[in-house]
Each structure stands twice: as C-alpha cells, then as structure tokens.
Amino acid sequence: DAGVTQSPTHLIKTRGQHVTLRCSPISGHKSVSWYQQVLGQGPQFIFQYYEKEERGRGNFPDRFSARQFPNYSSELNVNALLLGDSALYLCASSLSPGLSGYTFGSGTRLTVV
Amino acid sequence: KQEVTQIPAALSVPEGENLVLNCSFTDSAIYNLQWFRQDPGKGLTSLLLIQSSQREQTSGRLNASLDKSSGRSTLYIAASQPGDSATYLCAVRPDNAGNMLTFGGGTRLMVKP
C-alpha cells in the first residue's frame, strides 16, 4: 500500500520564479496538509484541505496557495520565489482533519538561488 | 498561541543507554500529541500518537507519556542503538476547530557504537 507520495523530490529555482509541488495522499485519506521545514527547525503549517475545501491556513504570505483535486491529491503553488523559501516542503495526509494522526511524505527539497 | 519546546536540542549517548526526550507545550487544550522521527533530509515517520485522554503509549523500545495539565510529554527510548540516531520531533494538535500541528524544534540524537 503506497504511502504519501510527493513530487518532485528535489528542485532548484531562481528568485522570482513560480513553483508547483504535488502530493498524493494515502488511499482513502481525504485530508491533505502542507508544511514548510527550514533547515534546523520544526515544520511550520501552511495549509490544510479536506474534501477539496481549505480548512486551515498558517501565517504565510499570499504568494503561497494550494488546492485539492477530486481524487484528493493536492498542489502547493509558490509565486515570486524568495531565497527564504528554500526549505523542505512536507505533505501530510489523514483520514479526516480530526480523527487520526498524520502520515507524512518524504518531502520536496526546494532550493531558490 | 501554542508554543512547543523540546529540550535538549541535541543529545549524544553511548549505545545501550536508556534515554528520555522532553517536549513541553504552553496551551494544555490539546486534542492529541504525536512523536515523529526524521532522518537527515528525509520526511517524518510517525512513532507514537497519544490522545488527550491517554497517559502513555508504547511501541517496542519506545514509550511516550503525556501530562496534559502540566503541558509535558516525554519519549523514553530503551536500550538505545546506533540506528536510533535521528531527529525526534513532537507535535501537538489543538482541541478546538484548528487542525494544524504545532511542532517543537526537535532533539537531534546521536547514539555512538
């Protein structure tokens, strides 16, 4: 049974560019959350989606956006990239927002140069 | 605003030692607390999930306790092995409508052979 899958695993972008990160949750999981982890720190919450609706948003600028598709996969978009956006972006899925723990993917390592 | 602190930030022990990692949180109104393991550059692996009504959870050599009223959790690792070397993160989920996890900064553990 596949876990949470994220793509790509690594990418390098230039300041000002746009990036799209993708996540497929565990089969049957309808909730997807996104976290940003800067080197040496704990993950910070960005978004949560459940049944294609946004259920939570962290303290991130409007350059960050996300959506969830009918098959419950999700995309995280970041516009006008800054050097400070360099981080490991983690996706987590759960059965529903409230009932169970979260299962994380291996993350996408984004480097902005 | 919930804040989660993990002490120590780094720990080095010889193989075979029993050890305790600490996690404290400022708001005791939590739904559950989850301990994760993170290997360098990798995603998060869930170790233990403790619901707010529980006092502890055990899995193999790992035991996690929760004292909600004092805002503390501990992760006990028995008979440590070099393969236990990793960063250990605790995360709390609030018991209100919020679904985000708030993470501590992690404890970086090194077990020497």
| pLDDT for res B96 | 64
Residue where the block lists tokens 């018991």:
B95
Map residue A85 onto helix, strand or coil. helix
| pLDDT for res B86 | 97
Q: In chain A, which residues have pLDDT < 50?
A: none
**Is B80:B13 a contact under the CB 8 Å cutoff?**
yes
A56 and B106: CB-CB below 8 Å?
no
| pLDDT for res B95 | 75
| pLDDT for res B98 | 61
| pLDDT for res A98 | 60
| pLDDT for res A99 | 60
8-state DSSP, A25: P
| pLDDT for res A97 | 63
| pLDDT for res A2 | 74
Burial of B102 from C-beta contacts in 10 A (0-12 / 13-18 / 19+): buried
Nearest residue to B7 (alpha-carbon basis) of B70, B90, B79: B90
Spell out the per-residue pLDDT of chain B, length 113, in tens.
899 999 999 999 999 999 999 999 999 989 899 999 999 888 999 999 999 999 999 999 999 999 999 999 999 999 999 999 999 999 999 876 567 899 999 999 999 99
| pLDDT for res A93 | 92
Task: Write the pLDDT tens digit of every residue in A53-78.
Answer: 998 899 999 999 999 999 999 999 99
The rounded distance, in Å, linking the Cα atoms of A99 and A9 is 29
Contact residues of B toward A, CB < 8 A? 4, 31-32, 34, 36, 41-46, 49, 89, 91, 98-106
From chain B, the residues in CB contact with A101 under 8 A are 32, 34, 46, 49
DSSP B37-75: EE-TT--EEEEEEEETT-SEEEETTEEEEEETTTTEEEE
